[in-house]
Structure 1
Amino acid sequence: MMRLVWNRIISRKLVSFTIILALFGIFLLIPIGFQNTNETKLAVDNSIAEQGRGTYDILVRPNHSRTKVEKEVGMVEENYIGDSQGGISIQEWEKIKQNPAIEVAAPVASIGYFSGKKTSVELPQLDESTRFTWEFYTSDGQKEYSLSEPQSLVYFKESEPGNTQYLKVLHNETASGATLDVMLPQTYHLLAAIDIESEQNLTNVDYSELKNEFDSFSLDVIIKTFGNIPVIKVIQREDINIPIKMKLKADTIELDISDYRKKLSLTEEDWLMSAERNKIKQVIGELNKKKTASTSEHEIDLTSFQKPFDGTAVKINNQFKVDLASDFASDRGETTVYYTAEKLDYNSENDILNIKIIENGQPPSYKKIVKKGESLYNGVKPKFLIEQVGTFSPKVDKESKLSSSPMGIYATSEIKTEKGQVLKPTTVPGSFIPQPAGGLITLKSAEILKGSKPIDAIRVRVAGISKYNKQAQQKIEKIATELLQDGYEVDIVAGSSFKNATLDVEGIGKVVAPWTTLGVAQELEENWNGLILLTTILFVTFVLVWFVSRLLFEKNSLEKEDELLTIIGWPREKIIRRNYLEQYFLLFIAYMLSVSFMAIIKLEVSAYFISSGILIIAFLLINIIFTIKKNRMKRLEAYKHSPSLFYYRDIIMPTMVILFISTMLIVVQIASFGSTINKSQESTLGQFTVDGIFGFQLLVLISAFILSILGLSECLNTLFYTRKSEFNMYHIIGWSERRILLHLSKETLVWTSFSICLGLITSCIILFNTEATIGWIVVGILSSSVILIFVIFIVLISKNFIIIPKGEKNINV
């Protein structure tokens, strides 16, 4: 019997080789697929466990503080508290932080946009009388905006040390006789409030300078001038510089100082700036029209010298370079004026957030601004004064972070235009770019300015968590639920990541800004686990259907041989045993080859167990299918349409099922894989996860391709081999090779097209339910169609040279 089995295997070399190759693929690729699937799941879980948790876990805000854009897009702006109105009292925060399950509860409050003391810029004293004209500018990285009207100062060369002769129009400031001082413009910066201890625990940043004492001399001056008023300590951010430039024009002019003394009604000993202001203004108007002997223009960048609340006085030397000034003027007159702003009004359209200009200006304002406080120049006793007592420097990670915990006041993330230009907030309130806090004050001070409920948000870190796993998620969700029941707006920030939001800004165009998208870790986990489950189900289903179909092919193709063996006296049990011995033999060869290859590529021990399990299941299926007795009804009438299809239906139907499953497998694999990777890469945590597991999942996808192609090819080979005598008959009756191939192609096209179309429709239904993207569904459909049609074409072409005998003459009948 073994000799008979072996002879049959040898006589069908191509079919036997294809079967062994396909079985080898099953024994090898399924263990690799399972191993890689486990590694994929492990990689995803590890990525999320190690990288999914940021600085804190829960963001707590007052009820109804969630913005419209947060509800629509499920993302939070990086500096989300910038223009908030408060709503949580210090007492409520104290109650929250007393919860033993909470490790840190760090409150933060947005106060408004404040300015510090103005300092002076000293102009050079040249050898010739000079008319200086200047204007200050700020920039958002793309455009420059004027911060002041053009101003002028006329310098007279007859100046003496300590008594510089010049004329300029004064704007609230006083004039000094020693230097050519001009005052920097007022600039405004976000002021926020924190609790020193909890903020240090959360950020590992030193805020201790907020406890510094005031300079005694400055405090005495304040008390003598304004009485006993609240003086608020401010520490300014060390790494922020004000984007400010000075455009300076120097015109050399011929002047006779005596003439202008007469016009100003001054004696030879008088200082020019001691004249009446109206006369000075009139004379400057005349001087501005005077012809110049020579002109030079200079753009002087003062950015590196200027800080939010304590700028640096500078002087411009005779070479128009910037040096530090030793003698300077300062002005706190506008420090009691501040602004609050409403949040940006985003309009969402086609996944793009539109931002409109609220008020045109230099620069334009994208927010509604409210002015508060009064200038000291109005003569009204101020309600407070701010005094800078130190600095702080947050630890800003310049690398791309994976997890996102938006702190609300520190972000310096780059916001870019479509062309890659980096945009920055200007020094004027109303910018659409989130401005990091330029200064910090205490919560107690915040109550003075904002009332009894100054806190806008509390950043909560849950205690007892070392990794962001299922247990950690349950702890976080429990605390979040409790806070939600207390009436707060609660967002779980753990598991969040950065995601680029596209903004369409009026006057600028499309801008890309990194926002925090919530629940990324959980979504990643669900997406990858869903892909793994889908891959596994389709993979196992395909292998099972293919193997059962192949056994049915073999059983049908052996019917005539079984009849002959019955005629010569073989009992049915012996015939069945002969049939499945051949399948055993092919299985065992493929199994041994796969095990040898596993040893070469050093797969895990589990791979051998999986292959052995497949072998046992295959043996059982062989026994079951070959033991079942089939009763065939004799047909007395010929088929009217497509006789070949109906006659070979026992072989064609399983092949159609294989083709259907192959189509569905390839389409779903490509579309799901592409969609999951695409969606994952929208966030930084997703990109990190994809980088770690891309190779694994790609190997699973390639394995599915190979198995589908081998399985389909083997089925078609078996079908065409079974019909070999039919094709020979066509040749004998005079059909040319081309005609036979054309006939076979048309016939094959009918049932293959039906199977492929049915597979495409089914896969689309599955994919629409899994929220795969349309683009990747189309890619999956096109790819699978091309791959399967190519395989069918190759098999047909190869059969043209194998099944049709060569050298025989056609017999015309």
Structure 2
Amino acid sequence: MIRFIWKNWWRKKGTFIFLIIGVLLIAAGLFYLVGLSHATQTTIVDELQKRWQASYDIVVRPAGTRSITEKDNLLDPNFLSGLSGGISIEQYEQIKEIDGVDVAAPIAMIGYLLFSIDLQDLELEGNGIYRLVTEEINHIGIKEKKNVTTTYFSRGNDQVIQEKFIETNGHYFLGFPFETYFTTWNLLLAGIDPEQEANLVGLDQAMLSIGTSRYFTDDDISENILLNVEASETGEPEIYSSSIPVIVSSQTYTDYLANYKIEKLDLPFDDIETARETLAMVEEKGGEKYLNNVKGKIVQTFSYRDKEIYARLVNSLSGYDIETGEPYTENHLGYIDIPLLHKPSGLSYKSVTSPFPENWPYAYELEKVVYDQERNIEGFREQIDYDRQDDGQPIKIQPNWIGIYDPSKLNISKDPLSELPMETYRPATAELVIDENLKPINPPEVMNPEINPSSFLGNPPTMLTTLDAAALIAGEKPISAIRVKVAGVEELNEESQEKIEKVGAEIEEKTGLETDITLGSSPHLTLVHVPAINNNDALGWIQQPWIKLGSSITIFKEAKVGYSILIFCVIAVAIVYVWAMSLVSLLTRRKAFAVLLAVGWRPRQLSKLIFVEAGILGSMATIISWMMLGFVYLTEEVSVSVTRFLLIGFLSLIIYLIGAIIPALLVRNISPMEAIRSGEISITSKKFLKTSGIFSMAMNHFFGKWKRNVLSIVAIAMPASLLALFLYITISLRGTMYTTLLGQYVAMEVGPVHYTAVTVSLLIAILTTIEIMWQNISERTEEIALLKAIGWKNRSIRMLIWTEGILIGFGASLLAIVGTISILMTQYSQLETEILVSILFTGLIPITVALIASVIPAEKAASISPIEGLRGQYTNQKITENRIKRFIMLSFFLMIGIVIFLSILLFIK
């Protein structure tokens, strides 16, 4: 039987060559996809599993707080610090009771406390008018922002200054005399639920052992204290101050320096009369404008950095030195009742065209606001004032220090590939990447936050209190956002996504609040244009890692589904190829099989013959794939399990055996009577069109052999559909895989794997089409010879075969387009126009593939001469056949030896 198979192969050398090419293609394709590309797909999924988890799964916000950026599924990294209340305590309690909520940690951004901090005792030289020049230098990273202000004050003769203040209602060009210079400092106060915050980020474990520093307890209460107890008797408005427990951060993130210079002006001011005369003269000459030109003598200079100022504040508040832990007896706070002036406010953006869309698909511009109408001062955040008390005074806060925490010790995601906004403990990051003239800045310059609350990048809250205190101060709806962790979410998969979506939907249904699922999100580098304000130069284009919602789960789904589709498609196309190859072999040898039946062979022996042929070819593919994988394993040190090693080899054998099933069944239908007649599976053949030219003749041949041509159509349509799906995945992931930081990290070899699968499948489809068209031409040798005998030119013969190939390609194109759209519609309710256009363009690929596949058969048909065509004979030299036999046998035993050697090494290693 094997000798019979061998003779048949070598009698038709061309067919045998295609068989060997098919074996190599199937072996190489499975080796690459099942072996090497599995490592890539595993890497993607494993890295996503490692990095998908962030600090929280869902963020809950007040209704109506979504911004323009969220239409692109982008979450502004500054959004938490810009929310001022909106969620009630009752809604918070409802969320905690929802089934599946493990942690619900609220954050209430209360507002900015204005501290007065004494810095320096003044060393002045007697009575006189003094000039104070303050130079504030804010190192924002990309440059120094300097602000120089000049003010004037007096020493001595206070009675005269008081008279002037009364006359001008406090609007005098000289400030009130003081002995100690002080500065004001804004700190953002936020409220938390101590228990939930400890569960979410481990805040209780981040407390520092300084003095009596501790975490919140149930004994820490908040209350309003009446400051003017006599108000009930006098009928004056009552003035309250809210006494609240606070913990403060050990870190500040700004880089600020203030230089102070005090000059004594050369103006007489010794006694009251002299002072009155001098002030009258100054007023007459223009007041402050005149003083700006008066020479002065420097009497004192001093400088303070932001960290020194902050340390004085915290040391005075706590009674301990935060550097040494020793008791701190000095008090540099100007007053104990701290005014709460402004609420936090968010940034506003408008969508703009990105100057470099290839690198930054999304770009926005900050909208500036005038937050000080009187002085026409611009910023990027509105100044929203708290309502004042009945007597017109601001809300007052008495912060009772109970502890200090270190944000660096918190249990929050510090992975730049998956971190979420945690503005409670760290500022948002930004880099200047393009200047105002659209010139790239390389390397990018990192920006630091500013101390100004209206700036683009601000400091996070450095003082935390309880949720009870937030409700006492801010009213019924103090909570700005709630960060939720869902119970039972341990892995990145569809089940986790569904569980979190269910919890999010229930939160929205029960509370009416808005939710964003942050599971599997990743930073997405986004451009933000910072325009010019206050007559300063524009900064240019800032790059910020915004949050692309759901990017990890998108990549995860596409990676797993895409990989499964790849393997399935390649195997399916390979099976179709083997099926077509066996069927063509059956058709070619139909008469021979009929003769074998006539001389006594049983039908089951013919079926066995088909399976033996498939087994030999499958074994060759198995050995080749094992050799390839073993070579790569030894040279590249790629880890391959024994199970996968065996699977890759036996999969090749299984493909060939499955592909042989239908031909093995069809061969049983052959009758010995067919030894004296010819035909296909169906003996009769009908013409569908009147033959009037090349196209109609090609159509009749196409439909006359429709069963075998359907194999070619399916073989081409499957990889074409795969390519269309891959293009969709590429387009849909363009905003996540290649523009999010996590996507860039795991993208690595996804493209090459997919394109390799498509290429292998299309090559196998080309072989399938060549096999079938080759058989068609073999059966029509006499017909083609007759056409040439009556005057047909070679180009006409080629055009006939090419037309048949184009018809096959057109059928495959329709099937591929319909199949692709059907698959996508089952997954997505609607498809974007650009995706539909790309799918339609992929319809040209099957036509091109079929046309390429028809080239070799067309050349064979054109080479048929009228005489040789009518003979229909096959020849082969005996010497050449024997030489090739020896070469094949030697190569076979060599491959077996290499496989055994590599297998031994695999088990040892």
Paired residue for 2:763?
Answer: 709
Q: Give the TM-score normalised by structure 2.
A: 0.66
Task: Quote the offset at 1:511 in angstroms.
Answer: 4.3
Task: Quote the offset at 1:111 in angstroms.
Answer: 0.6
Q: Aligned equivalents of 1:735 and 1:301: distance in 2?
A: 103
| Alignment pair present for 1:310 and 2:361 | no
Q: Percent identity?
A: 17
**Runs (5+) with no aligned partner, structure 1:** 156-168, 214-221, 267-271, 314-325
Q: Aligned equivalents of 1:506 and 1:487: distance in 2?
A: 38
Contact 1:78/1:411, CA 8 A, preserved across alignment: no
Contact 1:245/1:301, CA 8 A, preserved across alignment: yes
Task: Quote the offset at 1:709 in angstroms.
Answer: 0.7
Task: Quote the offset at 1:331 in angstroms.
Answer: 4.6
**Correspondence 1:522-533 to 2 at 5 A:** 522-533=553-564
- Opposite residue 71 of structure 2, the aligned amino acid is E
For residue 621 of structure 2, the aligned residue among 594, 597, 602 is: 594
For residue 201 of structure 1, the aligned residue among 187, 195, 199 is: 199
For residue 438 of structure 1, the aligned residue among 462, 486, 506 is: 462
- Opposite residue 19 of structure 2, the aligned amino acid is I
Paired residue for 1:455?
Answer: 479
- Opposite residue 617 of structure 2, the aligned amino acid is A
Paired residue for 1:112?
Answer: 111
- Opposite residue 83 of structure 2, the aligned amino acid is S
What CA deviation, in whole Å up to 9, does each residue of 1:228-277 have, x standing for no partner?
Answer: 844445444333244445588999x9x9x5x63579855xxxxx9x9987
What CA deviation, in whole Å up to 9, does each residue of 1:284-306 have, x standing for no partner?
Answer: 7545325899x9xx998945545
Contact 1:667/1:780, CA 8 A, preserved across alignment: yes
What CA deviation, in whole Å up to 9, does each residue of 1:36-61 have, x standing for no partner?
Answer: 78777766665555433323344445
Paired residue for 1:364?
Answer: 378
What CA deviation, in whole Å up to 9, does each residue of 1:618-670 have, x standing for no partner?
Answer: 23222123345633336799832223563465265643443344433334335
**Runs (5+) with no aligned partner, structure 2:** 156-171, 218-226, 230-237, 317-328, 354-361, 435-443, 533-537, 630-641, 671-680, 869-909
Q: Aligned equivalents of 2:611 and 2:809: distance in 1?
A: 34
What CA deviation, in whole Å up to 9, does each residue of 1:126-148 have, x standing for no partner?
Answer: 9xx99875443547656776666
Q: Aligned equivalents of 2:690 and 2:88: distance in 1?
A: 91
Q: Aligned equivalents of 2:386 and 2:33: distance in 1?
A: 66
**Correspondence 1:632-671 to 2 at 5 A:** 632-633=683-684, 639-642=691-694, 643=697, 646-647=700-701, 650=705, 654-671=711-728
Paired residue for 1:269?
Answer: none
Q: Aligned equivalents of 1:122 and 1:775: distance in 2?
A: 70
Task: Quote the offset at 1:192 in angstroms.
Answer: 0.8
Q: Give the TM-score normalised by structure 1.
A: 0.72
Structure 1's 360 and 753: CA in aligned 2 closer, same or farther, altered over 3 A? farther
Contact 1:79/1:410, CA 8 A, preserved across alignment: no
Other structure's SS at 1:441 match: strand
For residue 814 of structure 2, the aligned residue among 745, 758, 767 is: 758
Task: Quote the offset at 1:712 in angstroms.
Answer: 0.6
What CA deviation, in whole Å up to 9, does each residue of 1:203-237 have, x standing for no partner?
Answer: 22334747699xxxxxxxx999x998444454443
Q: Aligned equivalents of 1:468 and 1:653: distance in 2?
A: 41
**Correspondence 1:383-462 to 2 at 5 A:** 383-386=396-399, 391-395=404-408, 400-419=415-434, 420-433=444-457, 435-462=459-486
Paired residue for 1:553?
Answer: 584
Q: Aligned equivalents of 2:200 and 2:650: distance in 1?
A: 49
Contact 1:363/1:428, CA 8 A, preserved across alignment: no
Other structure's SS at 2:368 match: coil
Task: Quote the offset at 1:672 in angstroms.
Answer: 3.0
Contact 1:496/1:518, CA 8 A, preserved across alignment: yes
Q: Aligned equivalents of 1:26 and 1:539: distance in 2?
A: 8
Contact 2:244/2:399, CA 8 A, preserved across alignment: yes
Paired residue for 1:719?
Answer: 773
Q: Aligned equivalents of 1:212 and 1:546: distance in 2?
A: 72
Contact 1:22/1:707, CA 8 A, preserved across alignment: no
What CA deviation, in whole Å up to 9, does each residue of 1:548-587 have, x standing for no partner?
Answer: 433443344445x45xx76x79629859778766644542
Structure 1's 310 and 757: CA in aligned 2 closer, same or farther, altered over 3 A? same
- Opposite residue 340 of structure 1, the aligned amino acid is K
Structure 1's 493 and 797: CA in aligned 2 closer, same or farther, altered over 3 A? closer
Q: Aligned equivalents of 1:46 and 1:19: distance in 2?
A: 39
Task: Quote the offset at 1:341 in angstroms.
Answer: 4.3
Paired residue for 1:136?
Answer: 136
For residue 796 of structure 1, the aligned residue among 839, 855, 871 is: 855
Q: Aligned equivalents of 2:91 and 2:711: distance in 1?
A: 70
Contact 2:738/2:744, CA 8 A, preserved across alignment: yes
Paired residue for 2:574?
Answer: 543
Contact 1:48/1:469, CA 8 A, preserved across alignment: no
Contact 1:85/1:110, CA 8 A, preserved across alignment: yes
Q: How many residues align?
A: 746
Contact 1:402/1:497, CA 8 A, preserved across alignment: yes
Paired residue for 1:499?
Answer: 524
Structure 1's 688 and 149: CA in aligned 2 closer, same or farther, altered over 3 A? same
**Correspondence 1:267-278 to 2 at 5 A:** none
Structure 1's 702 and 805: CA in aligned 2 closer, same or farther, altered over 3 A? same
Paired residue for 1:618?
Answer: 659
Contact 2:106/2:480, CA 8 A, preserved across alignment: yes
Task: Quote the offset at 1:483 in angstroms.
Answer: 4.6
Other structure's SS at 2:379 match: coil
Paired residue for 2:292?
Answer: 288
- Opposite residue 342 of structure 2, the aligned amino acid is Y
Other structure's SS at 2:660 match: helix
What CA deviation, in whole Å up to 9, does each residue of 1:346-399 have, x standing for no partner?
Answer: 556786555422327786333432223779xx9969743447676432137795
Contact 1:43/1:689, CA 8 A, preserved across alignment: yes
Task: Quote the offset at 1:342 in angstroms.
Answer: 4.4
Contact 1:115/1:308, CA 8 A, preserved across alignment: no
Task: Quote the offset at 1:414 in angstroms.
Answer: 1.5
Task: Quote the offset at 1:723 in angstroms.
Answer: 3.2
- Opposite residue 467 of structure 2, the aligned amino acid is L
Structure 1's 465 and 278: CA in aligned 2 closer, same or farther, altered over 3 A? farther
Q: Aligned equivalents of 1:644 and 1:787: distance in 2?
A: 18
Paired residue for 1:571?
Answer: 598
For residue 240 of structure 1, the aligned residue among 248, 252, 267 is: 252
Q: Aligned equivalents of 2:470 and 2:280: distance in 1?
A: 43
Other structure's SS at 1:336 match: strand
Contact 1:309/1:388, CA 8 A, preserved across alignment: no
Structure 1's 380 and 731: CA in aligned 2 closer, same or farther, altered over 3 A? closer
Q: Aligned equivalents of 2:115 and 2:505: distance in 1?
A: 42
Structure with higher RCO (Cα < 8 A, 6+ apart): 1
What CA deviation, in whole Å up to 9, does each residue of 1:748-768 have, x standing for no partner?
Answer: 664366356536644763586
| Alignment pair present for 1:679 and 2:736 | yes
What CA deviation, in whole Å up to 9, does each residue of 1:442-470 have, x standing for no partner?
Answer: 33432342124423333344456655567
Structure 1's 228 and 639: CA in aligned 2 closer, same or farther, altered over 3 A? closer
Structure 1's 312 and 132: CA in aligned 2 closer, same or farther, altered over 3 A? farther
- Opposite residue 371 of structure 1, the aligned amino acid is D
Contact 1:713/1:791, CA 8 A, preserved across alignment: no
- Opposite residue 639 of structure 1, the aligned amino acid is T
What CA deviation, in whole Å up to 9, does each residue of 1:50-78 have, x standing for no partner?
Answer: 4333233444455x365354763445443
Q: Aligned equivalents of 1:399 and 1:778: distance in 2?
A: 41
